[in-house]
A and B are shown apart, each in its own frame.
Chain A
Amino acid sequence: MDSTTALFANAIVAGLLLGGFYAAMSVGVSISFGMLDVVNIAHPAFILLGSYIAYTMNDRLGLDPIAVSVVLSPLFFVLGAGLYRVYYLCFEQRGQESLRGLAFFFGILFITEVMLVLVFGVDYRMSKTAYADTTWRLDALDFPMRLVVPFLVSMLMVVGLQLFLSHTFFGRAVLAVAQDPLALRLMGVNPIRVKERAFALSIATAGVAGAFLIVIQPVQPAIGREYIGLVFAVCVLGGMGSIWGTLLGAFVLGLAESFTSTFFGPSWAPAVSFGLLLATLAFRPAGLLGR
């Protein structure tokens, strides 16, 4: 392989690996925003919370961040259920979700960030894992393990969620809840309960994605905001509320960022998600797969 081809091929590999990680970050928003119509812009705050919890366990006890996050995901589930209950009582029930509900989540995002600053400071934190520094090589292609491991776990999680949502009664109830809550009530299902659990599930995925984040790169409280554009871009690109769509959107975004980093420099990468988001909203608001 000559060097340009190698550069190109490596950008594709890095983009796909990155995309797998983005899918984990965005799948929760696909559920909360896409399926439940709850615009949780605080989602990245929970990702960061997950990062810092994984970091603490890794730093103090030497535990693997990803394993910790999977074990602790019920905690995030409970946190999510509680948050949804407050949101429902204060905003959804009163029909005030569009303005005040948004401001509420913004406040939560902000408070979480400031709390993390107060506890951990503004320095970058990193995790230490056995695989983080190894890179698997195939010809000229690099497969850095710090990206491969999160990628594989992420694929397991996302595909698992898709199977769960499409093959269980609960999953079908989640898909129906935003469209036809009345029909659910007639079937004896409480739509509020369904939304609460589904929202809780979305927050649980944020906790796991947070562990991926700290394995992949150093983390600082303020970077949460940078991912808001990203997770919503993936979600909109994927056509909102479709998990396969989210996966596709995540790969598209991962590739776009990887190529931007390779050919224009990494400092431009954050602009990519916003550009794609705006372009999608302007030209294909129904998403890539939309009609």
Chain B
Amino acid sequence: MTNRVFAAVAFAVAIAFAAVTQLISNEYYFTAAYTVLQFVILATAWNILGGYTGYVNFGSAAFFAIGAYSSVVLYNAFKAPLPVMIVAGTLIAGLAGLGLGYLTLRLRGVFFAIASLALAVVLYTFVVNWDYVGGARGAYVLQPSEVPFGLPRYVHLLYIAMVLMSALALIVARTIETSTLGRGLAAIRDDELAAECSGVPTLRLKIVSASVSCALMGMAGTTFPYFLSYVEPSSAFNLSYAVNSIAMPLIGGMMSWVGPLIGAVLLGSVQQLVQVTISSAWNLLIVGVLLVAFVTLAPNGIMGWIDLWRRRGRG
């Protein structure tokens, strides 16, 4: 499938999902779907640097929060319209990824990982101390009373925005995967020295990969303030984002865009159910245990099983 056809299909599916708003009235489903889609974006974005390039980012929550808090700032400053928030948050998170990548990606891979983890802590500290965005108390971000496009509720608009952003993230991921850039990233993942000696500008590609990945994570966070109407540091920087965005690609499979999608939909839905029936701590425990179980016992994830099964079918 060419990239254009894929993009067309992805957007067609997205519009179909968006059209559902006209059919279902129970608001809970949109809230749940919004949360799952948020994870689809985070997992897909993480996989661009993690799965395609082989560099672990523990700071997903930080980039998500950058997106969320840039929206808070824009809201406080001049009640910026939603599209402006989305674009701004994406760009700022991308720049943060660029900066972190520039400083640490020339060193061994683990340093980027450690720095990303530490970045989450320092940004958290920064936000807690920043009164303009509410500090530790948090800030109210009220949904506009008028909902455009004749939609019944504002959450429907946020859901549609999330659907479109997910489609965009998947298109970006797949385009990278099938492009020359993706080939270069895979070479870096397999053997960085050999890649450099095959003419791949490894540092530049790693930085590009980190920037795109972090930008998409930021994008996922931009609509978060409106979604909850209230943002506090501990919800925007929730560790669950960092863990899920690693666990989902690992469980789904990291070699292609399909893996993170499968992982996010599966794990995201399970968490929605568990959250309702049991509690959020158990919820996180399940994700953690699944992460460790998959990474030790099934390192290629669900897609790995499917590949194996397909190959057996052929042979």
Contact = CB atoms under 8 A, between A and B. Distances in A.
Interface of A: 33, 39, 41, 86, 90, 94, 96, 98-100, 102-104, 106-108, 110-111, 113-115, 117-118, 222, 225-226, 228-229, 232-233, 236, 267-268, 270-271, 273-275, 277-278, 281-282, 285
Nearest to B55: A99
B292 interface: yes
A275 B281 CA distance: 31
Interface of B: 50, 54-56, 58, 103-104, 107, 109-111, 113-115, 117-122, 124-126, 128-129, 239, 243, 246-247, 250, 281-282, 284-285, 287-289, 291-292, 295-296, 299
Nearest to A232: B114
A172 B111 CA distance: 26
B192 to A, nearest CB: 10
A146 B281 CA distance: 32
Given A98-B54, A114-B285, A274 B118 contact: yes
Given A114-B285, A118-B281, A233-B118, A267 B125 contact: yes
Contacts of A100: 250, 295, 299
Contacts of B243: 106-107, 110
Contact of B115 (A98, A268, A277): A277
6 contacts: A111-B285, A228-B121, A233-B118, A270-B121, A271-B121, A282-B104
B295 A107 contact: yes
Q: Chain B binding site: helix, strand, loop or mixed by DSSP?
A: helix
Contact of B129 (A103, A113, A229, A268): A268
B61 to A, nearest CB: 10
Closest 10 A/B residue pairs (Cβ): A229-B118, A107-B292, A274-B122, A274-B118, A111-B288, A107-B291, A110-B288, A90-B296, A114-B285, A271-B125
Nearest to B189: A99
B122 A103 contact: no
A274 to B, nearest CB: 4
A226 B113 contact: no
A100 B246 CA distance: 10
Given A102-B56, A267-B128, A273 B299 contact: no
B295 to A, nearest CB: 5
Given A110-B239, A110-B243, A282 B295 contact: no
B122 A118 contact: no
Nearest to B117: A228
A111 B122 contact: no
A90 B126 CA distance: 38
Contact of B299 (A86, A96, A102, A274): A96
A270 B114 contact: no
Nearest to A283: B103
A110 B284 contact: yes
A98 B117 CA distance: 16
Contact of B125 (A99, A236, A270): A270
B278 to A, nearest CB: 11
A150 to B, nearest CB: 23
Contacts of B284: 110, 114
A73 B56 CA distance: 32
